[in-house]
Each structure stands twice: as structure tokens, then as C-alpha cells.
Amino acid sequence: MGGAVCVQVMGKMLPRHMEIIEIINDGWTKWLESHTKDKAAVEAMSIIHPNPWNKDEWCARARACAACGGAREGRPARHWGGEGGVREEGGG
């Protein structure tokens, strides 16, 4: 379970980050569900998942979040002019 973070701890320490992870996970799982009917596959690829050692706890897969967080050419799209765009040179 390398790279997994406890959702409860993350939510207390970095609530806005956890909110963003939940938004990304919602979009990601909806996209997966639109491409497959296999619920087990969707659960296996979800960013947020049950902790296999403690069923009362949830974990977030950090690597999965980075992979499906909307990157464009290695950078988050919102930092580079939105959907696929590139902001002007010197634009902050």
C-alpha cells in the first residue's frame, strides 16, 4: 500500500487538499464507470479506497491522484491556461 495516505488524517491536516482529492476521485470514478461496467475494476482503480488492514479507515492513493488529476504535458491544466491552453509568458 505504498503511497497511500489515511483520509481521516489528511482531512484534519490538509482539509482543502482532501476536498480536491475527493473532487478528482468523483470525476475519475464517473469517467471509469462510463467506460466499463465492471464495478470491481472501478473500485480497484479508485483514488479513495478502504484500508485493507483496518476496514473502518479509508486511504487515498497518492500516485493514482497524480496520474488522473488532469495534467497536461506534466503540469496541472489550471496552472497553464485551463483546458489544454498555455498561459502567456511572464503571466505569473
**How many C-alpha atoms does 39 have within 13 Å on its Cβ side?**
0
Q: Determine the pLDDT at residue 33.
A: 93
pLDDT value at 38 more than 90: yes
pLDDT value at 81 more than 80: no
The answer as to whether 74 is a domain residue is no
The answer as to whether 70 is a domain residue is no
The answer as to whether 90 is a domain residue is no
For residues 19-33, average pLDDT: 89
28 burial (CB, 10 Å; 0-12 / 13-18 / 19+) is buried
Where do runs of H (alpha helix) occur along 7-54?
7-13, 15-35, 39-45
Question: Which H or E run contains 49?
Answer: strand 48-50
Total domain count, the chain: 1
Mean pLDDT of the chain: 75
The answer as to whether 50 is a domain residue is yes
Least confident range of 5-9, 10-14, 49-53, 80-84: 80-84
Task: Note down the domain range covering 25.
Answer: 1-31+41-65
The answer as to whether 3 is a domain residue is yes
Q: How far is CA 89 from the centre of its chain?
A: 29
